[in-house]
């Protein structure tokens, strides 16, 4: 594993540091050698409606977290759940005139997958649902009861006994006394011994989904599912538990209480990561009230622009949603696409120069230019000023390769520093500027310049892969026809004009004017219209 880290030409990857909500401090994650597999559980949605932009911040952010761990050489096991049984799910089913909340949930789970796919979020290893794990939940509740931390209340429900667990509220930093006051004010449930106790198992009510249990028919309370399903897929001790910051209390406090009282000798989650909200005019973009469904936003916004937006702030800081910001990021993404196309044009794509070979090309380059990668590593980590890192006299090609090296190194330093996507994205844009400057002075006839352009292209592809942008193979599922035309995938006037030019080219060929016919073909290719031969004669193929 260590070898993977050694082979990056921009120096050794820095150790990953993560801020742990539990204990409120940042610490270094164990190295790949010490701990080759990373297990992550992130709380998923209660699926009764279409999700809004804010709901997608966690999934998109953790998508990047997984990629960073993979690049560092870790094997990642990632689990995120669906809540298809709880009070809210049942209430919503009734509101929407649906007899079976599990059926309603199944429909929205499907819609949620579609939204994740549209945003280019890689699939999790497992997507457990509560209704598929009731058997394990019952066993787990029994374990908590056997350990003396749960009791059957006066209403036949099973409650967690809060005063029996003095470590309660360590994660959120709240106080037991304040909580007692709050609980007394909000709900008086006679069946509970203490107003702070919460339900592990809810006794059946008419019309609600129910399962048999040792305590009579009923259904799981909300919080128990995540303690049970994380243990089922990752074991009772695992690395990272993630979720929105609103879940700290009571959901995550209750998860810890259940896990610690079910499996007292296990760690449960060692690191807790909480992402902040997407805000609208400074307030949380709530499910109710003013919010923007992700699929509505994607009707006329490139999903990769939405990704850039969601990653534009550090995950522990709120990010405010405005259409102006999307517009601004759309232009920024345009600059990345433009430089990508410039590089492709400069290199006029050769098979041996595909971006997947760029690391090989880079190593070859380093040998020829006698770059001491280790010395670079040392200087960068010592915080030496950039101008001191390389020789003063550099060719344009050397300058571009070295600038690519610096921006990749710095981007990875940001990624490793508690997954600072904001800082890393800044490095990407600086790299774009440096490539544009390099292309101004380099020549595609010069082999050194071509090598440098290849390395810069590889660096660009590497960073955009991590952020999940420039994925041409994933078209926008929800784009309207009008939006498609704007993004240059053909249609409308351009299509008609290209067909006219194709006819002119045919006439030129018939008159044996191959110079003209080739010129027309090349010019069409420049606007993304490739001429391809078919059995019905030449056809335009839009790229
Ligand atoms: Zn959860």
HEC string of 497-535?
Answer: HHHHHHHHHHHHHHCCCHHHHHHHHHHHHHCCEEEEEEC
CA–centroid distance, 271 to ligand 1, in Å, is 15
Report CA(20)–ligand 1 centroid distance (Å): 17
The pLDDT of residue 475: 37
Q: Specify the pLDDT at position 482.
A: 58
CA 248–ligand 1 middle distance (angstroms):
10
**Mean pLDDT for the stretch of residues 497-526:** 87
Share of the chain above pLDDT 70, in %: 91
CA of 83 to the centre of ligand 1 (A): 8
Q: Edge-to-edge strand order for the sheet containing 150-152?
A: 150-152, 158-160, 198-203, 218-220
CA of 230 to the centre of ligand 1 (A): 9
Q: Is the pLDDT assigned to residue 41 strictly greater than 50?
A: yes
Separation CA 308–CA 468 (nearest Å): 9
- 251 CA to middle of ligand 1, Å? 6
CB 530 within 8 A of CB 540: yes
For residue 196, the surrounding DSSP H or E stretch is: none
Cα–ligand 1 centroid distance for 241 (angstroms): 9
Global pTM value: 0.85
Q: How confident is the model at residue 491 (pLDDT cuts 50, 70, 90)?
A: very low
Per DSSP, the residues of 409-464 read HHHHHHHHBT--HHHHHHHHHHHHHHHHHHHHH--TTSHHHHHHHHHHHHHHHHHH
Indicate the SS3 state at residue 538: strand
CA of 227 to the centre of ligand 1 (A): 8
Both structure tokens of 196? 């702070």
Say how many Å lie between the CA of residue 43 and the centre of ligand 1: 4
- Stretch among 64-68, 71-75, 356-360 having the lowest mean pLDDT: 356-360
Taking only the tens place, the pLDDT of each residue in 425-453 is 999 999 999 999 999 999 999 999 999 99
Q: What percent of the chain has pLDDT above 90? A: 67
Tell me: the pLDDT tens digits for 104-132? 999 999 999 999 999 999 999 999 999 99
Q: What is the model's pLDDT at position 524?
A: 87
Q: What is the mean pLDDT of residues 87-95?
A: 93
Q: Does domain 17-325 have CATH number 3.40.50.620?
A: yes
Whether residue 353 has pLDDT greater than 90: no
Residues written for the chain: 543
Quick one: tokens of 374? 């280790």
| Residue linked to tokens 């994205």 | 425
pLDDT at 122: 95
pLDDT band at 196 (very low <50, low <70, confident <90, very high): very high
Measure the CA angle with vertex 93, ends 275 and 202; round to 5°: 75
- C-alpha pair distances (Å), 157 with each of 210, 255, 368, 468: 13, 18, 73, 46
Ligand 1 centre to CA of 444 (Å) is 54
Q: What is the number of other CB atoms lying within 10 angstroms of the CB of residue 103?
A: 11
Instruction: Say how many Å lie between the CA of residue 294 and the centre of ligand 1.
Output: 22
Q: State the pLDDT at residue 5.
A: 45
User: Which of the four pLDDT bands, split at 50, 70 and 90, describes residue 384?
Assistant: confident
Mean pLDDT across 189-206: 92
Neighbours of 260 (CB within 10 A): 21
β-pairing, 283-284 vs 529-534, is: unpaired
Residue spans per domain, the chain: 17-325, 350-487, 492-542
pLDDT value of residue 420: 98
Ligand 1 center from residue 516 Cα (angstroms): 65
Instruction: Report CA(225)–ligand 1 centroid distance (Å).
Output: 7
Which residues are CB-contacts of 543 (< 8 A; sequence separation ≥ 6)? 528, 529, 530
**Inter-CA distances, 190 with 187, 196, 198, 204, Å:** 9, 12, 13, 17
Confidence band of 537 (pLDDT split at 50, 70, 90): confident
Question: CA geometry: angle at 140 spanning 139 and 142, to 5°?
Answer: 65
Distance 25 CA to ligand 1 centre (A): 22
How confident is the model at residue 286, as a pLDDT? 65
Centre of ligand 1 to C-alpha 252, Å, is 7
Supply the pLDDT for residue 473: 37
pLDDT in tens, 76-85: 999 999 999 9
Nearest to 398 by CA among 375, 366, 429: 366
> What are the pLDDT digits (tens) for 261-310?
999 999 999 999 999 999 987 777 765 567 799 999 999 999 999 999 99
CA distances from 471 to 238, 476, 490 (A): 32, 10, 18
pLDDT reading at 2 higher than 50? no
């Amino acid at each position: 594993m260590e070898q993977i880290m050694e082979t990056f030409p921009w120096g050794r990857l820095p150790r990953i540091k993560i801020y742990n909500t539990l204990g409120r401090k940042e610490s270094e994650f164990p190295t790949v050698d010490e701990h080759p597999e990373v297990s992550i559980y992130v709380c998923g949605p209660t699926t009764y409606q279409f999700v809004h932009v804010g709901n997608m911040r966690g999934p998109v952010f953790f998508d990047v977290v997984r990629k960073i761990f993979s690049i560092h050489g870790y094997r990642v096991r990632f689990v995120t759940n669906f809540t298809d049984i709880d009070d809210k799910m049942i209430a919503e089913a009734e509101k929407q005139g649906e007899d079976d909340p599990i059926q309603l949930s199944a429909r929205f789970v499907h819609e949620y997958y579609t939204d994740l796919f549209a945003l280019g979020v890689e699939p999790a290893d497992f997507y457990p649902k509560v209704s598929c794990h009731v058997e394990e939940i019952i066993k787990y509740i029994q374990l908590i009861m056997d350990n003396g931390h749960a009791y059957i209340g006066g209403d036949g429900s099973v409650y967690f006994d809060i005063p029996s667990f003095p470590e309660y509220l360590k994660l959120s930093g709240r106080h037991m006394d304040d909580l007692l006051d709050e609980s007394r004010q909000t709900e008086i449930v006679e069946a509970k011994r203490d107003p702070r106790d919460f339900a592990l198992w809810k006794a059946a009510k008419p019309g609600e989904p129910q399962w048999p249990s040792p305590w009579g028919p009923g259904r799981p309370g909300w919080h128990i599912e995540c303690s049970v399903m994380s243990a089922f897929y990752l074991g009772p001790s695992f690395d990272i538990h993630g979720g929105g910051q609103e879940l700290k209390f009571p959901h995550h406090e209750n998860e810890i209480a259940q896990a610690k009282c079910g499996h007292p000798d296990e760690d449960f989650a060692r690191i807790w990561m909480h992402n902040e909200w997407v805000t609208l005019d400074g307030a949380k973009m709530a499910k109710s009230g003013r919010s923007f469904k992700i699929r509505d936003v994607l009707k006329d916004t490139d999903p990769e622009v939405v990704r850039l937006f969601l990653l534009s702030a550090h995950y522990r800081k709120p990010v405010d949603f405005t259409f102006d910001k999307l517009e601004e990021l759309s232009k920024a993404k345009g600059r990345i696409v433009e430089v990508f196309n410039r590089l492709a044009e400069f290199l006029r794509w050769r098979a041996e120069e595909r971006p997947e070979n760029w690391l090989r090309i880079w190593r070859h380059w380093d040998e020829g230019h006698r770059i001491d990668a280790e010395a670079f590593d040392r200087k960068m980590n010592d915080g030496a000023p950039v101008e001191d890192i390389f020789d003063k006299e550099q060719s344009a090609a050397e300058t571009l390769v070295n600038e690519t090296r610096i921006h990749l190194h710095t981007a990875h330093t940001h990624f490793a520093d508690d997954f600072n996507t904001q800082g890393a994205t800044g490095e990407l844009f600086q790299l774009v500027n440096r490539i544009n400057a390099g292309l101004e002075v380099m020549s595609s006839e010069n082999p050194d310049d071509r090598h440098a352009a290849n390395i810069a292209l590889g660096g660009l592809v590497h960073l955009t892969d991590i952020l999940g942008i420039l994925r041409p193979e994933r078209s926008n599922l929800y784009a309207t026809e009008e939006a498609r035309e704007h993004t240059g995938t053909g249609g409308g006037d351009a299509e008609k004009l290209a067909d006219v030019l194709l006819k002119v080219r045919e006439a030129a060929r018939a008159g044996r004017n191959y110079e003209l016919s080739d010129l027309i073909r090349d010019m069409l290719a420049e606007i993304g219209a490739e001429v391809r031969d078919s059995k019905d004669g030449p056809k335009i193929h839009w790229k």
